[in-house]
Structure 1
């Protein structure tokens, strides 16, 4: 092989490795979590529940606060239709589907599938949307990351109330009565922990980023582009998953169930995540609405058509908003999910490892699967992003023309004043 071909081959290999750095880094950290689980686990050497659970998540939302416009963020907070869709899917639709599937699996009486693992799947489905990966993936896919921030905050605050209530409801069934935590006293303590974590790791860094962005806009833009801070979120996401795996390995979660059960969970989680994503797409962009309302109402349109159009068509999301709904609706948090499970069942529960296995595996697989979906979503929403870029450029040109016109007027005014003074 000639030297030029060797150089070309090495360049392609290095480019491939760089493009896949996320998966390579994740694999390395999972291996580290296996051999050194005490280092990054909850209550471990580095106290990951604070250093990573707060620090890494705060870094992601600080970067988001620095890069997002305040006016658009406030606008997305008022998008109650998107909030209703995401919350309904995240808490009710996904959990009810998971309950039905787990009930069917349990009735099959397969000895390879542990009953507590099935209960763990149900608890996972009742958890709120993930805190960090949604924002990272939505930004990479060109979705509405401002709306995603709102969904993360609202969903996780409500999760402190909704998740324990849903677990109680599903565990009241005779099939899963063995998994009823029946610890209503933990709800208030759980809510305080969730509010503290959401406040310190999401709200405070987001607020600081917004203040700094509005006070020093030019410096912030320079820092974001020069240091490429957009990559920080992906690396912090790896750290969050490292902590989750370390906690699971330390509690011998994967040794507590059979290999057949682990294999089942790996394939089941991928399938159910893609299925939930498909449901989110149908929910966000119902195919029948454009057919029922092909045109905007005019003066000649009937009152019924006009009223139904104004009520129903706003539920048909744009592609950017649909990407947010798909990422938020199907995802489940492990950063808060571990706290939600341990608060309900107790940190000394003999079945805690089996309950955590579905959650930890689902989190890692949803991130890996979402990373593959990013490129497809980005191409799908490219037309909307191009339109927005064109509008921004045209607005900049208009504002530049206005400013130049004002400058010319000021110059003419100054020349007239000077000439009159000379006279």
Structure 2
């Protein structure tokens, strides 16, 4: 007889998803608390606190030999970066041609194109990959690589796809990536290899996921405080449905396309591919949009798809992470945890 999962077991198994839903609810109750102008000072507590903590934990838990092995997986890195910067913009161009038939707001369509040109984020994809028992090292490498490449490629892609571009703050972005990602990662590796930290039993995975939930909470606080966009309810509905369809399609395409490389990619690699190749950065995206379309009366319409895309990718990730974890366990010959 099949074991029936109790509510307690379901919450334990899917606690990240439950946490995401709780974050959305709490952010909706009092969004100013976790907003950029709020008392939590998220420009520091998130950027240099939670995100740095996530990568410090990654440095503490990753085996150095696995990092060296991941550097040699050039096919995996090539797949993710080509999917992110080439495949998604091309597919989006086709997608907006289809949406234009239904009379979707032209500025929303420009916003969807802008989203497709953005680089990956450096926190959510890594934590979701780790939670799903995917190739965390590959997720970190490609998130950081994609962010650096986005400094150069995103303006070029925007010029090619929209006919307009902007200069990304190069020095500021490099400093931010170095201080929030590379330094904590190297510090974690140093503590792991040159101290007896490995003998301590801290719940690092739980701490990392809690840090991600804090990032998610503050993201939704900012989302709920977005001023009126000047769009009709139908335009907003079209945006939400378009982004949802776009993300689900991209996740499925990346998942099944990578199946053709089963001789090269293990299931843990495919998990990293699904999250890293389809996620887009809000942190870099919003400043780019504000520089590109400064003074435009349609800035809010163009920004809406990215504002919808970011929380949607987190929610969808939370929905599939448990299934992907079971899938990875089966390849390893282990019984999926209840």
**TM-score bracket for this pair, using the shorter chain length:** 0.7 to 0.9
Pick the aligned partner of 1:361 from 300, 308, 312: 308
> Is 1:343 matched with 2:291?
yes
Q: What CA deviation, in whole Å up to 9, does each residue of 1:313-335 have, x standing for no partner? A: 6xx31222111111111111223
CA contact (8 A) 2:17 2:318 kept: no
Paired residue total: 330
Shift of 1:339: 2.8
Pick the aligned partner of 1:206 from 180, 185, 194: 185
Shift of 1:153: 0.8
Shift of 1:338: 2.2
Aligned to 2:84: 90
Cα distance in 1 for residues equivalent to 2:74 and 2:10: 42
* Alignment map for 1:129-278 (pairs within 5 Å): 129-172=120-163, 180=164, 182-183=165-166, 186-187=167-168, 190-217=169-196, 219-224=197-202, 228-252=203-227, 255-278=229-252
Q: 1:323 to 1:27 in 2, by over 3 A?
A: closer
Q: 1:330 to 1:350 in 2, by over 3 A?
A: same
Q: Matched residue of 1:332: which SS?
A: coil
Cα distance in 2 for residues equivalent to 1:335 and 1:237: 14
Cα distance in 1 for residues equivalent to 2:135 and 2:327: 14
Aligned to 1:125: 116
Shift of 1:65: 0.7
Q: Matched residue of 1:335: which SS?
A: helix
CA contact (8 A) 2:20 2:315 kept: no
CA contact (8 A) 2:17 2:319 kept: no
Shift of 1:380: 2.1
Aligned to 2:60: 66
Cα distance in 2 for residues equivalent to 1:340 and 1:364: 18
Cα distance in 2 for residues equivalent to 1:56 and 1:246: 16
Cα distance in 2 for residues equivalent to 1:221 and 1:137: 26
Q: Normalised by the size of structure 2, how large is the TM-score?
A: 0.87
Q: Matched residue of 2:231: which SS?
A: coil
Q: 1:165 to 1:233 in 2, by over 3 A?
A: same
Cα distance in 1 for residues equivalent to 2:67 and 2:170: 25
Cα distance in 2 for residues equivalent to 1:83 and 1:362: 23
Shift of 1:12: 4.7
> Is 1:323 matched with 2:286?
no
* Alignment map for 1:255-404 (pairs within 5 Å): 255-286=229-260, 316-346=264-294, 349-386=296-333
Shift of 1:92: 0.9
When Rg is computed on C-alpha atoms for both structures, the one with the higher figure is: 1
Q: 1:143 to 1:23 in 2, by over 3 A?
A: closer
Shift of 1:37: 4.1
Shift of 1:212: 0.5
Question: RCO higher in 1 or 2 (8 Å CA, sep ≥ 6)?
Answer: 2
Gaps of at least 5 residues in structure 2 are none
Q: What CA deviation, in whole Å up to 9, does each residue of 1:339-392 have, x standing for no partner? A: 33233333x6543332332122222222221222222222222244348xxxxx
Cα distance in 2 for residues equivalent to 1:167 and 1:42: 27
Q: What CA deviation, in whole Å up to 9, does each residue of 1:61-115 have, x standing for no partner? A: 1111110011211221232211111000011101111122113322x252xx332
Q: What CA deviation, in whole Å up to 9, does each residue of 1:141-179 have, x standing for no partner? A: 12111111111110011111111211111112xxxxxxx
Gaps of at least 5 residues in structure 1 are 1-10, 173-179, 291-312, 388-423
CA contact (8 A) 2:20 2:318 kept: no
Q: Matched residue of 1:142: which SS?
A: coil
Cα distance in 1 for residues equivalent to 2:31 and 2:232: 20
Q: What CA deviation, in whole Å up to 9, does each residue of 1:45-75 have, x standing for no partner? A: 4332222123111111111111001121122
Q: What CA deviation, in whole Å up to 9, does each residue of 1:234-286 have, x standing for no partner? A: 22222223333333333415x43222233233333232222112221233231
